[in-house]
């Protein structure tokens, strides 16, 4: 590729640096950095937008903040006039997993794929301007490939290279089966980039191998190679594992303002900087300022987290909703006052039982062991009074309020 | 599969044993033996022929005795009324090797494939009744497969299983590249069996993995599984390596009677039994008798080899040609008389030169080193006189006959 950077005027050079600063902020890796700069330079000189690709799995359309890490990055490109290419991987979705072993890869009907794509579209609309997004279904080109095309595609890659993918090498060495067709998923994802002539592909850091495949195949087909931007994986509410629906440690973009705010307030202090970087739409300067102020003690972590909560609710609902969610939170949790919307449960159980049994029967705790721990940690209250004795016998009275942790309440109505 | 063996009448049982004795004679492996018996039994009861498959590489149509090992086995099936399915692997032939690394897999045009198939047909006609053979080109079905079909096919096999193939595992462990498309050749070969519902597939012992793939894929597609019959590889004239054109250690089925007979006489005594078994059309009883007679000293190895030579020439030419070739051989080599058809070379070189230079310039030896060795081994004669001195200066005289080894002669005509 021609060197466009050295053809830039000083003003254009500034524009390159401005865009590059935005795109490179908060990312894990850019492969290769110099090519990204050159592509931006080309786009400035030729006044043509870059094509920025994101591939989507059609089977899991529930969007949470973990997904928005990459969406926010896409939005930055969109705000600078570049084209977003969203690819629904419907081809693989419709095949499913022919071995039937993977639950995640169950076979989808055309209707399911379409419905899931619409769900994506609706939820992505909370971040991106969907009118400007280009949407593709990869079955359009993948279903036209014949065996000869596929042999040619497969000839471009070695088995050793595929076995470099961490999960493949691990499975092979531990004797867990890899079906041959699994080798094709990265090839198919890569072929999408050939077809769409993408300039850039975004992905989570765990997609390293797959998104680089696009670069490899474009080269094989004599196309300009895409640049790969990998984004960090966002830890969920537990502060440990990647945010995911199955782990239950997520904040969904569709959640109600109070839930969204409350969950945000529960994240670990250590993760705040990362959340500001990856899931808010604040400017780079604002993010830097917040992190500095936190470090210098000018900003109290609790206040920073409340700003984070407001910012997130504002992004997915509105400024008003953000204020109300914050008020709600303050009332319930900070002032120790009971919320007004406590769920009521009709109690037809025993009149008298142990506090541990009560917590388990109300499903406020999963097991007796957990209930015992929660009491020992001082996390259980009856009508606002902390329970100290794990052996406590409770006499159930009407409208008794059982509280577990900061945010779980139940009002018992005697049936 | 139903048990047909137990449904046989005593006469039918005899017929089963008769056929089985023929098919199992001289083979390396039958997988599994019991299923072969059951398939024969089924064919006897239902009076339907078995479908016996052989796949052919369309790029190498020069048929030599090494190929006839499997052809003779096919002939046995044909003589018992079964159907021979010959499959020209034109699909892979037309693709060639997309990486361009394999010379053996160069891309063939439609015309080349057709021409090579005709050559096969013509040369196979020396063993099989080609009018009864079913000929297929596998591009007919392989070219209709799309990516979804291929994903389904690939899902039936694990990467670990493919890496069990000796050459794959060796290459992977020594860091030599395996292109992903190479994993598809065994799958395609196997898919041919699915398409043709073959009952039996024949192959050389080095095809173990590939022919078993047909069995595996038939099972995947809920078809009756083929039985695999593997035949020993025939060592060539050097007695060490597998007979092959590239090694120069072969006897072609198109060669002239004298050449064919002479080459046969040059094989190692140790290999005679194997040649009788694998490349002649003698009956099982005759073969057993010859081997017994050899062992007991009733038959002299030289006489046995002459019988082998006659038998082979008779198979590919005629009984008369066999007699004449034997006479020719006796005259030239056994009685020490010169043949009548010595090639003449016009000599415009030096009048006087070293014996070593003469042998090299006449291209009777490739290098001075080889020429020296040949002289030292007593393999060089001038006008019937053995040359003892590697330093000998030769004065070239008209019609001088130079002999190297038993069968290379040149008559020098002074130019």
**Which of B158, B172, B188 has its CB closest to that of A160?**
B172
Beta-bridge partners for B344: B411
Which class for B266: exposed (0-12), middle (13-18), buried (19 or more C-beta within 10 A)? middle
- Residues in chain B with CB shorter than 8 Å from the CB of A195 are none
How many angstroms separate the CA atoms of B87 and B117, rounded? 10
* DSSP string computed for A350-392: -SEEEHHHHHHHTTSSSSHHHHHHHHHTT-EEETTEEP--TTP
Name the CATH superfamily for A344-414: RNA-binding S4 domain (3.10.290.10)
> Closest by alpha carbon to B188, among B214, B166, B206, B164?
B214
Whether a cis peptide bond, with omega within 30° of 0, leads into B351 is: no
**Which of A148, A158, A184 has its CB closest to that of B179?**
A158
Strand order in the sheet with A51-56: A29-31, A227-231, A200-204, A51-56, A83-88, A134-137
Q: Where are the alpha helices (DSSP H) in A197-300?
A: 208-220, 257-265, 272-279, 284-296
**Which of A145, A162, A163 has its CB closest to that of B147?**
A145
3-state helix, strand, coil in chain A (%, to 5): 50, 15, 35
Which helix (H) or strand (E) segment holds residue B284: the answer is: helix B284-296
Which helix (H) or strand (E) segment holds residue B286: the answer is: helix B284-296
Find, in chain A, the residue whose alpha carbon is nearest to that of B179.
A158
Contact between B145 and A146 using a beta-carbon 8 Å cutoff: yes
How many angstroms separate the CA atoms of A338 and A67, rounded? 34
pLDDT of residue A17: 97
Gap from B113 CA to chain A (nearest CA, Å): 17
How many angstroms separate the CA atoms of A373 and A392, rounded? 14
Question: Residue A252 gets which letter from DSSP?
Answer: B
Find, in chain B, the residue whose alpha carbon is nearest to that of A163.
B159
B303: how many CB neighbours lie within 10 A of its CB?
A: 12
How many angstroms separate the CA atoms of A255 and A247, rounded? 16
pLDDT of residue B337: 60
SS3 B93: helix
How many angstroms separate the CA atoms of B376 and B406, rounded? 15
The annotation places the binding site of A for ATP at 245
The CA-atom distances, in angstroms, between A15 and each of A45, A283, A379, B92 are 11, 17, 54, 52
Which of B97, B100, B108, B151 is the mutation pick for testing A, counting most A CBs within 10 A?
B151
- In the block, tokens 């009332």 appear at A331
Strands A51-56 and A200-204: parallel
Tokens of B2: 């139903």
Number of H helices, E strands in chain B: 18, 13
- Residues in chain A with CB shorter than 8 Å from the CB of B155 are 97-99, 179-181
Task: Give A120's contacts (C-beta < 8 A, 6+ positions apart).
Answer: A56, A61, A63, A86, A88
ipTM for the predicted complex: 0.71
- Residues in chain A with CB shorter than 8 Å from the CB of B150 are 147, 150, 181, 184
* For chain A, domain boundaries: 5-231, 257-334, 344-414
How many angstroms separate the CA atoms of A19 and A135, rounded? 24
Write out residues 167-226 of B within 8 Å (CB-CB) of A: 168, 172, 175, 177-184, 187-188
How many angstroms separate the CA atoms of A233 and A231, rounded? 6
Find, in chain A, the residue whose alpha carbon is nearest to that of B175.
A160
Contact between A154 and B183 using a beta-carbon 8 Å cutoff: yes
Q: Exposure pattern of B221-248 as b/e (b: 16+ CB <10 Å)?
A: bebebbbbbbbbbbbbbeeeebbbeeee
**Which of B91, B147, B158 has its CB closest to that of A178?**
B158
A200: how many CB neighbours lie within 10 A of its CB?
A: 27
Contact between A155 and B98 using a beta-carbon 8 Å cutoff: yes
Beta carbons of B314 and B261 less than 8 angstroms apart: no
| Length of chain A as a residue count | 415
Contact between A99 and B155 using a beta-carbon 8 Å cutoff: yes
Q: Is B357 an interface residue toward A (CB < 8 Å)?
A: no
Tokens of A320: 């008003």
- Residues in chain B with CB shorter than 8 Å from the CB of A216 are none
Contact between B179 and A168 using a beta-carbon 8 Å cutoff: no
CA A358 from centroid of its chain's CA atoms: 36
pLDDT of residue B386: 81
Q: Is A152 an interface residue toward B (CB < 8 Å)?
A: yes
Beta carbons of B184 and A181 less than 8 angstroms apart: no
How many angstroms separate the CA atoms of B281 and B271, rounded? 17
- In the block, tokens 């570049």 appear at A82
pLDDT of residue B320: 96
Q: Is B154 an interface residue toward A (CB < 8 Å)?
A: yes
Contact between A179 and B157 using a beta-carbon 8 Å cutoff: yes
- In the block, tokens 């500034």 appear at A14
Q: How many CB pairs under 8 A join A and B?
A: 124
How many angstroms separate the CA atoms of B149 and B155, rounded? 10
Gap from A101 CA to chain B (nearest CA, Å): 11
Contact between B181 and A154 using a beta-carbon 8 Å cutoff: yes
For domain A257-334, which architecture applies?
Orthogonal Bundle (1.10)
Q: Which fold has domain B5-231?
A: Rossmann fold (3.40.50)
> Closest by alpha carbon to B143, among B110, B116, B106?
B110
- Residues in chain B with CB shorter than 8 Å from the CB of A163 are 159, 172
Average pLDDT taken over every residue of chain B: 89
Contact between B168 and A184 using a beta-carbon 8 Å cutoff: no
Q: First and final CA of chain A: distance in angstroms? A: 76
Contact between B145 and A147 using a beta-carbon 8 Å cutoff: yes
pLDDT digit string, tens, across residues B277-330: 999 989 889 999 999 999 998 888 889 999 999 999 999 999 999 999 999 888
Strand order in the sheet with B134-137: B29-31, B227-231, B200-204, B51-56, B83-88, B134-137
Contact between B179 and A159 using a beta-carbon 8 Å cutoff: yes
SS3 A18: helix
- In the block, tokens 């509280």 appear at A403
Which of B155, B169, B170, B183 is the mutation pick for testing A, counting most A CBs within 10 A?
B155
Tokens of A5: 């950077």
Beta carbons of A43 and A2 less than 8 angstroms apart: no
Beta carbons of B244 and B42 less than 8 angstroms apart: no
Contact between B159 and A172 using a beta-carbon 8 Å cutoff: yes
> Closest by alpha carbon to B26, among B254, B221, B303, B283?
B283
Tokens of B86: 């010959």
* DSSP string computed for B303-322: HHHHHHHHHHHHHHS-HHHH
What averages of pLDDT result for each successive group of 10 residues across chain A (415 residues)?
94 97 94 96 97 87 89 96 95 73 70 87 91 94 92 90 89 89 91 97 92 94 96 90 84 92 89 92 91 90 93 95 91 66 84 91 89 89 82 83 85 83
Beta carbons of A357 and A310 less than 8 angstroms apart: no
Find, in chain B, the residue whose alpha carbon is nearest to that of A93.
B148
Write out residues 57-116 of B within 8 Å (CB-CB) of A: 91, 94-95, 97-99
Task: Give B95's contacts (C-beta < 8 A, 6+ positions apart).
Answer: A148, A151, A152, B107
How many angstroms separate the CA atoms of A334 and B141, rounded? 72
Contact between B179 and A162 using a beta-carbon 8 Å cutoff: no
Find, in chain B, the residue whose alpha carbon is nearest to that of A177.
B158
**Which of B147, B158, B168 has its CB closest to that of A179?**
B158
Positions of chain B with pLDDT lower than 50, given as ranges: none
- In the block, tokens 């415009």 appear at B348
Gap from A410 CA to chain B (nearest CA, Å): 50
């Amino acid at each position: 590729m021609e060197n466009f950077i050295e053809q830039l005027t000083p003003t254009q050079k500034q524009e390159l640096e401005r865009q590059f600063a935005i795109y490179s902020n908060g990312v894990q890796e850019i492969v290769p950095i110099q090519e990204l700069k050159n592509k931006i330079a080309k786009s400035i000189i030729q006044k043509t937008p870059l094509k920025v690709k994101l591939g989507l799995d059609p089977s899991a359309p529930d969007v949470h903040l973990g997904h928005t890490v990459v969406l926010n990055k896409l939005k930055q490109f969109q705000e600078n006039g570049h084209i977003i290419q969203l690819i629904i991987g419907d081809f693989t979705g419709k095949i499913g997993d022919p071995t039937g072993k993977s639950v995640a890869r169950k076979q989808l009907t055309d209707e399911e794929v379409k419905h899931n794509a619409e769900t994506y579209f609706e939820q992505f609309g909370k971040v991106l301007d969907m009118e400007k997004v280009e949407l593709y279904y990869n079955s359009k080109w993948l279903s036209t490939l014949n065996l000869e095309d596929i042999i040619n595609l497969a000839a471009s890659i070695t088995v050793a290279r595929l076995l470099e993918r961490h999960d493949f090498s691990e499975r092979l060495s531990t004797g867990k089966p890899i079906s041959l067709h699994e080798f094709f998923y990265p090839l198919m994802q890569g072929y999408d980039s050939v077809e769409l002539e993408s300039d850039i592909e975004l992905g989570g850091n765990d997609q390293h191998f797959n998104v680089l495949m696009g670069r490899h195949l474009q080269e094989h087909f004599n196309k300009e190679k895409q640049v790969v931007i990998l984004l960090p994986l966002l830890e969920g509410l537990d502060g440990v594992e990647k945010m995911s629906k199955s782990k239950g440690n997520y904040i969904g973009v569709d959640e109600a303002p109070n839930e969204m705010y409350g969950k945000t307030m529960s994240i670990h202090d250590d993760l705040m900087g990362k959340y500001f970087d990856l899931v808010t739409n604040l400017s780079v300067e604002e993010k830097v300022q917040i992190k500095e102020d936190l470090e210098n003690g000018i900003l109290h972590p609790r206040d920073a987290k409340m700003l984070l909560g407001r910012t997130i609710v504002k992004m997915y609902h509105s400024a008003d909703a953000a204020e109300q969610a914050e008020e709600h939170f303050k009332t319930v949790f900070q002032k120790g006052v009971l919320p007004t919307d406590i769920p009521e449960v009709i109690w037809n159980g025993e009149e008298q039982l142990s506090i541990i049994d009560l917590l388990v029967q109300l499903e406020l705790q999963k097991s007796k062991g957990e209930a015992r721990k929660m009491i020992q940690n001082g996390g259980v209250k009856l009508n606002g009074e902390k329970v100290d004795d794990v052996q406590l016998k409770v006499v159930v009275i009407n409208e008794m309020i059982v509280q577990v942790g900061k945010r779980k309440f139940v009002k018992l109505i005697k049936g």
